[in-house]
Structure 1
Amino acid sequence: MNSMLATGWVAGIFALLIVPLSVQVSLRRAKTNAVFGDAGDEALRKRIRAHGNFIEYAPLAVVVLGLVEYRGGASWLVWSLAAGFVFSRVMHAIGMLFTSTPPVRAMAMLVNHASFLAAGIWLVSSLT
């Protein structure tokens, strides 16, 4: 029986991470009275994009990781992908919310893309 331990960990961590990202947006919306969009508020725009980027990548990361784990990917591969996905999502959010220069986000996206490429290549090659 495959316990999907790594996928469970990543899904749980992502569930915990989405809450502060979402709350940050809600609090700023309340402060700026911005019901829709960002109302021209730079801080709200950054929070919206940090939350949005997380939502764009995190669900697929969990699915892809789950498939690699379910299909019997080597433990080192599964845990490396898990670490890469978590690292990239945390660092990207930090880069969006707490820095004004792109290197942190760029590093996060590089790790994110590398993790997706590795998982995708493994999955496609495991099907043949």
Structure 2
Amino acid sequence: MELISSLAVTTVFIALFALLQVPMTMAVGFRRAQTGIQFLDAGDEVLLKRMRAHGNFTETVPMTLLAMAAAELSGAPAYLLWAGGGALLCGRLLHYRTLITSGFGNGRAVGMLLTLAPLLVFPVYVFWHLAGLRN
């Protein structure tokens, strides 16, 4: 219980992102059921978009949440954790929506920037803390 209470903000985002992954995974499965495509994408553009949106989420969210947990355990202020988690959430939703609807556009780029910002900020904070640059 003590570890969970010391990861209060990160725990909220872990639960939220776990719930978000369910419909993304199901969207891929439903399209596979509709098309009968069991492996890869067989050239189906809708399936490919859903697979890449789900894959990109899966590639970026876990490491960012681990970095967030490390920052929280290192004493990062709550505003930094909430801002970083919020940026990640907005970034992933914007990226997913853009990729699914049009496949390209500014929303995808902004979504990646909002994803990469906390992926960079959280580990920098940890190293800053470890170097003794924080009280």
Q: Which shifted more, 113-122 or 57-66?
A: 113-122
Q: Summarize deviations over 1:20-76 as a string: whole Å, max 9, x none.
A: 000000010111111100010000000000110010011111111111111110111
Is the 8 Å Cα contact of residues 49 and 103 (structure 2) preserved in structure 1?
A: no
* One-letter identity of the residue aligned with 2:47: L
Aligned length: 128
TM-score normalized with structure 1 length = 0.93
| CA–CA separation in structure 2 for the residues paired with 1:112 and 1:18 | 16
- Residue 47 of structure 2 is matched in structure 1 by 44
1:86, 1:55 → 2: CA distance?
13
Normalising by structure 2, report the TM-score: 0.89
The separation in 1 between residues aligned to 2:8 and 2:105, in whole angstroms, is: 33
Per the alignment, residue 119 of structure 1 pairs with 122
State the partner residue of 1:30.
33
- Matched residue type, 1:84: A
Cα distance in 2 between the residues matched to 1:57 and 1:116: 8
- Note if contact 2:49-2:100 (Cα within 8 Å) is conserved in structure 1: yes
Q: Percent identity?
A: 34
Q: Are residue 60 (structure 1) and residue 63 (structure 2) matched?
A: yes
CA distance in 2, matches of 1:41, 1:58: 26
| Correspondence for 1:107 among 95, 107, 110 | 110
